[in-house]
Amino acid sequence: MSDRIFPPRALVLDPAGTATADALTARLKFTGYGVDTRSVFSEPTGPIDAFAYEPGLLDGTPTHNAAEQLLTAVKRLTPFLRAAEEGGSRIVVIASRDGLGWPSRPDLAAQSGALISAARSLALQLGRTGTTVNVVAALPPEGSPLRAAGRPENTHLHEPEALTPEAVTAQDIAETAAFFLDPRSGYITGQVLNCCGGASLLSSLSV
């Protein structure tokens, strides 16, 4: 019999205190998770059902060496993740569409690309344990300081825009992350899901 605790426990690492992290925390609490937003670099006190890593790429205040921090956090959490016979745990990483390349934010693009690579490697590493690792790659949401930056200097390019009538919001990103964190998504791992209103359908050099 599983010793799964109720409510399930989730950790959200949000060192930047971003709108996306706040929206995800609220979404998980609404779903019934007990959410702990303290730094996971302190010792966990019990089993972890879900871990969301939001390093601040979408508002331009990323954690230093975000991919390295992710690997360190997951290594620390691994003894506390659910075993395969208990359904495993869920890990989701919030990255940026900038990983495809963007002229005015090469630093954020590099961090996002590294995060995606790290997450896919963790999915390979943890697959047999029942833990899934997936990525939500999003446009900067409505209200992000990055959206007010305007056209990058010395280029004809504009900030990528959604094809949908409405701009992407922090709540949209939180809902996408919640999909990956749901126990019913246990057969999906190592994937990158673009939460961008269709902007990823366009070339990074034409949007």
Where in the chain are the domains?
9-201
In terms of pTM, does the model score above 0.85? yes
The pLDDT score that the predictor gives to residue 206 is: 44
Domain 9-201, architecture per CATH: 3-Layer(aba) Sandwich (3.40)
pLDDT for residue 150 is more than 70: no
The pLDDT score that the predictor gives to residue 40 is: 59
Higher pLDDT, 39 or 161: 161
The pLDDT score that the predictor gives to residue 207 is: 41
Beta bridge partners of 136: 94, 193
Fill in the DSSP letter of residue 111.
H
Question: What 3-state class would DSSP assign to 86?
Answer: helix
Q: What is the amino acid identity at position 85?
A: E
Nearest to 132 by CA among 91, 103, 172, 161: 91
pLDDT for residue 67 is more than 70: yes
Q: How many contiguous H segments (helices) and E segments (strands) does the chain have?
A: 4, 6
Angle at CA of residue 165, ends 201 and 155, nearest 5° = 55
In this predicted structure, which of 48-57, 98-107, 154-163, 175-184 has the lowest mean pLDDT? 154-163
Q: What is the amino acid identity at position 195?
A: C
Work out the mean pLDDT of the chain and round it to a whole number: 85
Calculate mean pLDDT across residues 72-76.
92
The pLDDT score that the predictor gives to residue 59 is: 86
Assigned token pair, 139: 């446009």
Higher pLDDT, 97 or 179: 179
Assigned token pair, 141: 């949401």
Cis bond leading into 8, ω under 30°? no
Fill in the DSSP letter of residue 191.
-
Calculate mean pLDDT across residues 158-185.
89
Q: What's the CA gap between 93 and 96, in Å, rounded? A: 10
Angle at CA of residue 2, ends 185 and 93, nearest 5° = 35
The pLDDT score that the predictor gives to residue 89 is: 95
Contact between 23 and 108 under an 8 Å Cβ cutoff? The reply is no
Q: What's the CA gap between 144 and 111, in Å, rounded? A: 18
Calculate mean pLDDT across residues 60-77.
88
Q: Is the dihedral of CA 113, 52, 60, 155 positive or negative?
A: positive
Report pLDDT digits (tens) over 84-142.
999 999 999 999 988 887 777 888 889 999 999 999 999 999 999 999 999 999 988 98
Other beta carbons within 10 angstroms of residue 17's beta carbon come to: 12
- Count of residues making up the chain: 207
